[in-house]
């Protein structure tokens, strides 16, 4: 299927590693020009070089997403070079485990890192998105609807992201701009792998994690998240907006009984 993304200018925050890297690669494979906004220039350059060898166009911009002066400057660089922005993917952020035991200042900092920077980026790309009749894809988290425990800052940020997805979809619909949120549950990223490696038995911890996912008893891949993002961002999904799309193997919405080793359904 031709997703009609060739030569589209796509901005992906945190686009050099984990889910963000998979998203960058998926857009680049479709012929889009991907502009990574990230804090680690080395990671960005490595991905740029890797994609260039495949004939794909990826650019890296050194941006700390909590730097409210750097964001508009980087956006201006993209517009000066390409003259347009068609898609913005709000992917940057991380579960910082800011809990009720943390100082309120830590909670505010978590919001700055995980949701305020998303608002700032859309604020500064807004006119370009309207001009292009583009779209916004937010990358959410299961904890926005399930809770997780010990992570008030991240959960609040991702809950706000769900609300802003609907708010922005309503606000921008009259301009032809679509806004959607893709929500993962358990995805094995380098960060998650490091966390699992700290377990007394990393292999057993991974197997236990897999069992929490009803469909196929496995974690979702970063590529499965990326494929959904790319499709929803494409003209092939032209009447989809304001949606919270769970790509999680049924983790959030299917009964926990589905993860048990026996089933009430028997083959005939």
Q: No. of H helices and E strands in the chain? A: 10, 7
Same domain, 124 and 22: yes
Separation CA 121–CA 219 (nearest Å): 30
Kindly list the distances between the CA atom of residue 87 and the CA atoms of 5, 7, 36, in Å, as whole numbers in the listed order.
10, 11, 12
Separation CA 228–CA 103 (nearest Å): 37
Separation CA 195–CA 217 (nearest Å): 20
pLDDT at residue 3 in the model: 96
Residue 261: pLDDT band (50, 70, 90) is low
Lowest mean pLDDT among 31-40, 154-163, 178-187, 259-268: 259-268
Mean pLDDT of 100-104: 97
Residue 220 and residue 213 in contact, taking contact as beta carbons nearer than 8 Å: yes
Separation CA 142–CA 140 (nearest Å): 7
Query: What count of other Cβ atoms lies within 10 Å of the Cβ of residue 127?
Result: 12
At 33, phi and psi to the nearest 5?
-100, 115
Domain assignment present for residue 259? The answer is no
Q: Give me the percent of the chain exceeding a pLDDT of 70.
A: 96
Same domain, 139 and 22: yes
Same domain, 74 and 193: no
pLDDT at residue 268 in the model: 47
pLDDT at residue 266 in the model: 52
pLDDT at residue 117 in the model: 98
Separation CA 106–CA 234 (nearest Å): 37
In the residue annotation, 192 being an active-site residue is answered as no
Beta strands in 178-235 (DSSP E): 178-184
Residue 246: pLDDT band (50, 70, 90) is very high
Q: Which domain holds residue 211?
A: 188-219
pLDDT at residue 193 in the model: 84
Residue 68 and residue 124 in contact, taking contact as beta carbons nearer than 8 Å: no
Same domain, 137 and 149: yes
Q: How far apart are the first and last CA of the chain?
A: 37
Closest residue by Cα to residue 249 from 240, 241, 259:
259
* CATH number of the domain enclosing 246: 3.40.50.720
Same domain, 90 and 196: no
Same domain, 141 and 174: yes
What single string gives the DSSP state of each residue in 77-100? HHHHHHS---EEEE---------T
SS3 content of the chain, % helix, strand, coil (to 5): 50, 15, 35
pLDDT at residue 18 in the model: 95
Same domain, 211 and 159: no
Closest residue by Cα to residue 30 from 222, 202, 207, 227:
227
Q: Catalytic residue among 61, 154, 192, 251, which?
A: 154
Domain assignment present for residue 262? The answer is no
Same domain, 40 and 171: yes
219 DSSP 8-state letter: P
Q: 172 is written with which tokens?
A: 């921008």
pLDDT at residue 56 in the model: 98
Lowest mean pLDDT among 96-100, 194-198, 254-258: 254-258
Q: 107 is written with which tokens?
A: 């909670």
Residue 166 pLDDT more than 90?
Answer: yes
Mean pLDDT of 62-74: 97
Domain assignment present for residue 257? The answer is no
Across all residues in the chain, what is the average pLDDT?
Answer: 94
36 DSSP 8-state letter: E
Same domain, 102 and 205: no
Kindly list the distances between the CA atom of residue 168 and the CA atoms of 138, 161, 172, 178, 258, in Å, as whole numbers in the listed order.
11, 10, 6, 8, 35
């Amino acid at each position: 299927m031709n997703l009609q993304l060739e030569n589209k200018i796509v901005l992906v925050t945190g686009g050099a590693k984990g889910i963000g890297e998979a998203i960058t690669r998926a857009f680049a494979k479709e012929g889009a020009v991907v502009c990574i906004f990230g804090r680690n220039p080395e990671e960005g350059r490595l991905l740029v070089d890797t994609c260039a060898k495949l004939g794909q166009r990826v650019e890296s911009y050194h941006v700390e997403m909590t730097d409210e002066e750097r964001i508009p400057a980087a956006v201006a660089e993209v517009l000066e070079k390409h003259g347009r922005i068609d898609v913005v993917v709000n992917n940057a952020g991380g579960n910082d485990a800011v809990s009720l035991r943390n100082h309120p200042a830590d909670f505010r900092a978590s919001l700055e890192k995980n949701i305020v920077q998303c608002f700032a980026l859309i604020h500064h790309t807004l006119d370009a998105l309207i001009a292009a009749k583009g779209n916004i894809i937010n990358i959410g988290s299961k904890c926005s609807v399930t809770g997780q425990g010990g992570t008030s800052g991240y959960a609040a940020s991702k809950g706000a992201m769900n609300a802003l997805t609907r708010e922005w979809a309503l606000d921008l619909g009259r301009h032809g701009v679509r806004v959607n949120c893709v929500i993962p549950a358990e995805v094995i990223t380098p960060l998650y792998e490091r966390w699992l490696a700290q377990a007394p038995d990393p292999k057993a911890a991974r197997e236990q994690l897999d069992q929490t996912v009803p469909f196929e008893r496995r974690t979702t891949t970063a590529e499965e998240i990326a494929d959904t993002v790319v499709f929803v961002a494409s003209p092939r999904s032209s009447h989809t907006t304001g949606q919270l799309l769970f790509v999680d193997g049924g983790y959030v919405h299917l009964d926990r009984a589905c993860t048990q080793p026996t089933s009430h359904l028997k083959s005939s």
